Amino acid sequence: MSLPIVLITGQLLTDAVWQPLLDAWSDREIIVADNQSDDTIEGFAQRLLDNAPPKFALVAHAMGGFVAFEVMRRAPERVAKLALISTLASADGPAQTARRQGYIDLVEAGNFDQVVEERLPILFPEERRNDTRLLGIARRMAADTGADTFLAQQRAIMARIDSRPRLGEIAVPTLLIWGEKDGITSRAHHDEILEAIPSAKLEVIAGAGHLPTVEAPEVVVPLLTAFVDQ
């Protein structure tokens, strides 16, 4: 019997970011963790643990990675394998905090749609920014998330702790996936995690940006399937 899999999604994203995996894994036990009902990373992590099977593989994207690090601090014995996509382990610095506060100010002024449009160029590589399929997915996920949830997610992200000091405690097989044209996380962010987690390996997805699960599912789905099954 295959291992249950818990998926934890990033900011302004919904189950749709996992659709290629959900289609491929239709015969497996899959739980998509709630990324909309809390306003702290700790709250998201505890809610995930409260609703997850006793033992599972954890696949986390972007903000979901911050939650995954908290899950590993709280209940490492429950996670059999860990996959981290387009994420980073450090806390925000002053520049990131200022940018996030700018987004909050825009939303509170009634300009949520402007935030969504400003984020599109950092989600996708320049050559994909006119891709109607990808733009449609991103805009629908943002609309389905909504302004209030975005604000709660943003505040959770801004208040997160630096996860780097305890990365070395992660003892399970760990797969890092990074799109080489990601406009939000960098190769350096992933190398930092790669060097700190003893069992980690990194797969770089050529030509992909921040959402490799929908940009390059033909690469990412087999990678994750092989990792979970091995």
Task: Give the pLDDT confidence of 18-45 residue by residue, as tens digits.
Answer: 999 999 999 999 999 999 999 999 999 9
Give tens-digit pLDDT for 96-112. Answer: 889 899 999 999 999 99
Structure tokens at 23: 């289609």
Element (H, E) at 74: helix 63-74
Give the per-residue pLDDT at 99: 87
- Please state, rounded to an integer, the average pLDDT across all residues of the chain: 96
pLDDT band at 2; cut points 50, 70, 90: confident
pTM > 0.85: yes
Using a pLDDT cut of 90, give the percent of the chain over it: 92
Length of the chain: 230
Q: Taking a C-beta distance cutoff of 8 angstroms, is the pair 106, 113 a contact?
A: no
CA angle 42, 47, 52 (to 5 degrees): 125
Give tens-digit pLDDT for 129-182. Answer: 999 999 999 999 999 999 999 999 999 999 999 999 999 999 999 999 999 999
* Mean pLDDT of the region 56-74: 98
* Mean pLDDT of the region 200-225: 98
pLDDT at residue 4 is higher than 80:
yes
Give the per-residue pLDDT at 1: 64
